[in-house]
Every structure is written in structure tokens, then in C-alpha cells.
Amino acid sequence: MTAAVRPLRISNDILGNPDQIRHRVADEGYVFFKGLQSADRLRSLRHDIMSVLMAGGWLQPDTPVDDGIANVDAQCTEGDPEYTDVYHQVQRLESFHTSGHWPEVMAIMEKVIGGPVLPQPQKICRLWFPRYTQHTTPTHQDFVHFQGSYDTYTCWAPVGDCPIELGGLAVLPGSHRPEQIKPHHFALGAGLLAIHDDDLEGEWYTTDYEIGDTLIFHSLLVHRALPNLTPDRMRVSLDNRYQSIDIPIAEHMLLPHLSGIAPLEWDEVYANWQSEEFQNYWQERDLNVVPKQEQWLEQIFEEVVALVRQGDEAGTHHLRRFVRREPDSDRGRIAREVLVETGLSKTARKNVLADQK
């Protein structure tokens, strides 16, 4: 994969000019601001999140919680049941959801969008272990995951300093044009969908992110995460979506993140909140809610089955996840059958059976 070799363009010089901000997003597909968000609030949020990770066994005991020193033996990622066991506790944090509505975030999104903004209810926290690079989020466009309308924007920010070796985001400027969805294929990492390098042109841009830095980009801009190459540090970031209140939103974006992998209802999220200000706030709007498009999920499952029959290890890992997560679903049963059919050793077959328990 081509290395990220050029620095992100800093747009603080046009922060007070909405027309120039929208022009730059239209031209390059992104804007990047240094120190846009409150470092103090982000540090407080980091403490809340890291405290959850410590309680969940993801951090080394007897280390400062805010340092985020990972327990590498606990490695897991999105799609693993043990990941959602801890992640859903982060989803219950009032401070986490409130961060998506901070005044400086809403103000910049109004400038980008050019009118009243809907913060999508599905707030996302990315939690990445070190020394787990095969699960790094691959090259993709956000639309295939979040759907609704092309004119949806991601607002990404590290919760703490995030130098390149910790694994921030890299973008491919201008790749949102022409306005079309590029072919995606199966890959490990969040979302499971990747664009092949052969389908891309241009140079990658990234930076050594500092706390408060904010990257905003269009849903069709091609981007990827960089691998967490540190020996022992968790990478934590906010990864939320914003749109005009007047355009469609996909139905699954009204649900808690990863609630499709392990059940989580809004009432559970809100159980210990002190305020009702941001509870079910979208229900006051007359939103144009559209069904989720399932074709990409169907496509990657078919691709994975074919890959496993060719002996692909990544595909085998993914099918074993299905067996563990949803053994009684149609895909879970197919996954189990394919794993056995492909001639697993006795040891591997025992693991497949154990994964169902």
C-alpha cells in the first residue's frame, strides 16, 4: 500500500469564512483544523473512556489510566463479541455522546454544510490496540457504511495526541470526484470493505495529530487508518457523522453503534445520564429515513466464502467470528458448514465447535 507521504493542508486561515471552507471541501474533499476542539474537554473525555477500558481489562493494571497503556493480551476489534462487551460501556458514557454536540463542533459543521445540522445519533468511538496491524481500517469511502446521502460528512478527532506511529487517518484529496462509489472488496479491519490500490491515483496525506485537531471530510473521500505501530498504546478517536436536516438519513444511523453485533437499546445507553438534553433529540425532527442498503454486506459474505474455499486465512478468521457471534443465523450456519467443508484439521474443527458455545 502506498505510504502516506504528504502533510494535510491546514485550513485555520479560512476558519472565519464559510464560503471558502465549502469551496475547499468541494475541491479537495476535506478540511483540517489545528486545535479546533477544546483540549481540556477532550482530556476529560479521554479519562472517562480510558477508565472504561481499564475496567474492561484492556489496559495494563497499575499504570496511569490516562496513558492508555494497552494489555496486548486483550487484543480484539470490531466484530468480535469481546470487543462489544467493553465498547458498549463506552457507548453508555454521557460525556462521549455530548462531545458530538460541542459548540465548536456544531459551529464548524454548520459552516461546512451551509445550514442547520443534524448530528447523526449513531456516535462512534474508535479503539485500536497496538501490534494488531492486520485489523487496521482499510482504504474505503464512508458512504458504503453510513449511506443516506452523499452529502454526509465525517468529523474525526483524536482523543489525545496521535502521532503517525499511533495510527491516525490518511486521506486521498480529490478522490470524492467524480461523485461515485468505487468498487469495494472484503478486507479485515473496521467495516470489512476495502478499495484496491490499483483503482486509485494520487498521493496520501496525513499528519502528526495533536489533541484538539479535527479532520472533516465528504462521505465519498477515499481514506484509511494508519496502523498502530506503537508497542503498547491504545489509539482512541471520535468518528462522527453530520448532515443537513433536509436530506435522507439511513435507518441504521438512528441506532447505537454496533448494536447490530450485540444488542444495545437507547434506554440502556441513557440509564445513568444526568441530563436529557441529547436523549432522542432526533425524534423532534421530521427526518427522511431511508432503508439500509444490504448489498455490500451480502457481497463481502459471498467473497469471504469464496476466499475461505481457496485457503484464505483472513476469510477464515472472519467466518469463525460469524460462528461465535451468531451461530443460529443463516450466515452463521453457512460459515460453520464452509469451515468444516474446507478440510479443517481436528484441532481447528474443535475450535469452530467451541466458538459456538
Listed residues 270, 290, 310: the one ending a domain: 290
Separation CA 47–CA 49 (nearest Å): 6
Report which of residues 83 and 351 the model is more confident about. 83
pLDDT of 238: 98
Whether 257 and 271 have beta carbons less than 8 Å apart is answered as: no
Q: Are residues 277 and 333 in the same domain?
A: no
d(CA 138, CA 225): 7
pLDDT in tens, 336-352: 999 998 865 344 455 54
For the cut 50, the answer to whether the pLDDT of residue 232 exceeds it is yes
Q: Using a CB cutoff of 8 Å and minimum separation of 24, what contacts does 329-333 make?
A: 331/301
Is a pLDDT exceeding 60 seen at residue 353?
no
Question: Is residue 168 over pLDDT 90?
Answer: yes
- Do 121 and 137 lie in a common domain? yes
Q: What is the pLDDT of residues 105-115, one digit of tens each?
A: 999 999 999 99
| Amino acid identity for residue 324 in this structure | R
Same domain as 102, residue 195: yes
Kindly report the average pLDDT of the chain as a whole number: 93
Confidence of residue 231 (pLDDT cuts 50, 70, 90): very high
Query: Is 85 in the same domain as 130?
Result: yes
Domain match, 28 and 94 both: yes
Q: What is the predicted pLDDT for the residue at 355?
A: 52
**Main-chain dihedrals φ then ψ at residue 281, nearest 5 degrees:** -60, -30
Which of 290, 318, 344 is at the close of a domain?
Answer: 290
Omega cis (within 30) before 178: yes
Domain check: are 42 and 150 in the same one?
A: yes
Count structural domains, the chain. Answer: 2
Over the range 156-182, which residues count as b (16 or more CB within 10 Å of their CB) and which as e? bbbbbebbebbbbbbbbbebbeeeeeb
What is the pLDDT at residue 347? 42
Helix axes 330-341, 313-325, angle to 10 degrees: 140
Predicted confidence (pLDDT) per residue in 61-72, tens digit? 999 999 999 999
Three cell numbers written together for 169? 487517518
Q: What would the pLDDT profile of 240-283 be if each residue is shown by its tens digit?
A: 999 999 999 999 999 999 998 999 999 999 999 999 999 999 99
Residues in the chain: 357
What pLDDT, in 10s, does the model give residues 151-160? 999 999 999 9
216 φ, ψ (degrees, to nearest 5):
-120, 135
Q: Let me know whether 332 and 276 are in one domain.
A: no
For residues 322 and 93, the model is more confident at: 93
Does 328 have pLDDT greater than 90?
no
For residues 21-44, average pLDDT: 98
Integer angstrom CA distances of residue 12 from 113, 158, 210, 219, 308: 17, 18, 14, 22, 48
Give the whole-angstrom CA distance, residue 317 versus residue 304. Answer: 10
- What's the pLDDT score for residue 1? 40
pLDDT value of residue 350: 52
Q: What angle do CA 146, 207, 170 make, to 5 degrees?
A: 30
Please tell me whether residues 197 and 337 are part of one structural domain: no
- Among 290, 314, 335, identify where a domain stops: 290
Query: Is pLDDT above 50 for 286?
Result: yes
Same domain, 81 and 104: yes
What number is the average pLDDT over the span 221-248? Answer: 97
Indicate whether 201 and 325 sit together in one domain: no
* 292 three-state secondary structure: coil
Distance CA 72, CA 67 (A): 14
Considering only residues 103 and 3, tell me which one the structure prediction assigns the higher pLDDT: 103
d(CA 213, CA 181): 28
Report the alpha-carbon distance of residue 322 to residue 199 in Å, rounded: 29
The predicted structure's pLDDT at residue 352: 47
Helices (H), the chain: 18-28, 39-55, 81-91, 94-99, 103-113, 143-146, 266-269, 295-309, 313-325, 330-341, 346-355
The answer, as to whether pTM is greater than 0.75, is yes
Do 196 and 214 fall within a single domain?
yes
**3-class SS of residue 218:** strand
What is the Cα–Cα distance from 167 to 223, expressed in whole angstroms? Answer: 13
Nearest Cα to Cα of residue 172 among 200, 153, 142, 151: 200
Mapping DSSP to helix (H, G, I), strand (E, B) and coil, where does residue 338 land? helix
- Contact between 199 and 140 under an 8 Å Cβ cutoff? The reply is no
Q: Which CB contacts under 8 angstroms, 24+ apart, belong to 58-63?
A: 58/86, 58/127, 58/129, 58/234, 59/234, 60/232
- The CATH number of whichever domain residue 227 belongs to comes to 2.60.120.620
Residues contacting residue 227 through CB under 8 Å, at least 6 positions apart: 133, 136, 167
Q: Name the pLDDT band for 356 (thresholds 50, 70, 90).
A: very low
Provide the pLDDT for residue 322: 82
Domain membership of residue 85 as a residue range: 4-290
Does residue 161 sit in the same domain as residue 305? no
Distance CA 176, CA 153 (A): 12
